[in-house]
Amino acid sequence: MQGSPIDIVIFAPLAAILGVLLFWFIQLLFIQCEKYLLSILKHKHESLVRFTNFLGILFQTICHALGYTVTRSGISDVYLSVDYSKVAPKKEKKGMFEWISNVFLFIGPFFIPAVLLLIFLFFLIHNGFEVTTPSQLLEIKYTFSGQIATFGNSLYVFSNSFFTFLFNIDLLHPAHFGFLILMIFMGLGIRPSYFGEKKKEKVDMIYDLRNIWQLVSNKPVYPILLFLIAYVFFYISFYLDQIWYVALFSILGWLSIISITSVFIANLLLLLVKNADEITGRLRYLPYITIPLIYVLMRLLFYYFPSDYTNSVSLLVTILVTCLVVFLLLRKKTNKFKTKKRIKLFKKEKEKNEEEER
């Protein structure tokens, strides 16, 4: 087993932690992009924004209630509305129990809702949940580079299986379609969009980071204790020659990938709504009609002409045709605008020439 003792004892445990933090930060960036799109749509689609806000508060409430359950504080009262929620414990516990409850409240929504989708995936895909070290790195698997390689390899195997499933998803299959709907709901509501009719405080990436920083800085003893527990768990895995440590953080990485993908799909839908709003008249409903219409037509075509790529080609054609319809409708609107502008300029020049002649 190669690798310096300092690398194994100090730096190796940090590899998986830094990997999870990186993916969580990417998740934050995608969520911020979604909040920007929702801010653009809130004037024309207030109901949609309120719905996403309700989903975000619902997930937040579930995580908070789960925190009180884990700390055995109990739940005496739960209040949930479109712009506000409150979970009251039966027993007011201080110290570490209170801190753990706040961890579930502030950090839980980024990971816990994705657990449901991960459990769902266990029944939909048959591989991708392996955590292994590449054979050429077995001798250094407990070093920083070895842990990074094992963590990255586990995410690659999971991502390959997960995205293969998504690219070949059968929208006529109830389980597949239900999974996609859950992904969209989670992507739209992973964090609340706003608070109340009158925004009390901007709920953005800085807001989340500030809450987490206060959680860490107000009680620094508890984060340090968790940090030490993580190191001890790594040493136990190292002593028993197991990969339990990196497997635990790989699961958190899988949850981040699911969350990032969910938010990405939600962002695509919001972009569709935004572009459809720019189309005038009843034609703005055409992109929404195109999606189910083209998909069903493609599936009917492949029903009579079977292929190994029925699901993936049907999905790809549906996406491309929808994008083409939106592009053509927007171009038509732009051309009309240019034509009207040219007519106005022509009239102004004509009036100007007539005045000069007089």
Please write the tens of the pLDDT for every residue from 2-40. Answer: 667 888 888 889 999 999 999 999 998 999 899 889 888
Higher pLDDT, 26 or 105: 26
Average pLDDT estimate for 173-191: 92
Q: How far apart are CA 318 and CA 72, in angstroms?
A: 49
Residues 261 and 314 in one domain: no
Q: How far apart are CA 276 and CA 287, in angstroms?
A: 7
Residues 263 and 340 in one domain: no
Beta bridge partners of 89: 75
Residues 254 and 288 in one domain: no
Total domains in the fold of the chain: 2
Residues 46 and 172 in one domain: yes
**264 in Cβ contact with 280 (< 8 Å):** no
Residues 206 and 308 in one domain: no
Among 347, 27, 315, 60, CA closest to 165: 315
Residues 209 and 245 in one domain: yes
CA dist 67 to 103, 215, 248, Å? 8, 15, 20
Residues 348 and 204 in one domain: no
Residues 328 and 298 in one domain: yes
pLDDT of residue 195: 47
Average pLDDT estimate for 80-105: 84
Confidence of residue 194 (pLDDT cuts 50, 70, 90): low
Residues 138 and 92 in one domain: yes
Which of 250, 277, 304 is at the close of a domain?
A: 277
Confidence of residue 64 (pLDDT cuts 50, 70, 90): confident
Q: How far apart are CA 53 and CA 177, in angstroms?
A: 23
For residue 284, the 8-state DSSP code is G
Residues 300 and 202 in one domain: no
Confidence of residue 174 (pLDDT cuts 50, 70, 90): very high
Q: How far apart are CA 207 and CA 199, in angstroms?
A: 13
Higher pLDDT, 356 or 50: 50
Residues 83 and 126 in one domain: yes
Among 231, 223, 322, CA closest to 279: 322
* Full domain range(s) for residue 9: 5-277
Which of 277, 308, 343 is at the close of a domain?
A: 277
Which of 277, 293, 323 is at the close of a domain?
A: 277
Q: Does 306 have pLDDT greater than 70?
A: yes
pLDDT digits (tens, 9 = 90+) for 342-355: 555 545 655 665 56
pLDDT digits (tens, 9 = 90+) for 237-268: 988 988 899 999 999 999 999 999 999 999 99
pLDDT of residue 185: 92
Q: Which two tokens stand for residue 4?
A: 């310096």
Looking at every residue in the chain, the average pLDDT score rounds to 85
Secondary structure of residue 87 in the 3-state scheme: strand
Q: By mean pLDDT, which of 36-45, 99-108, 191-200, 327-336 is the weakest?
A: 191-200
pTM of the model: 0.87
Residues 353 and 213 in one domain: no
Dihedral pair phi/psi, residue 89, rounded to 5°: -80, 155
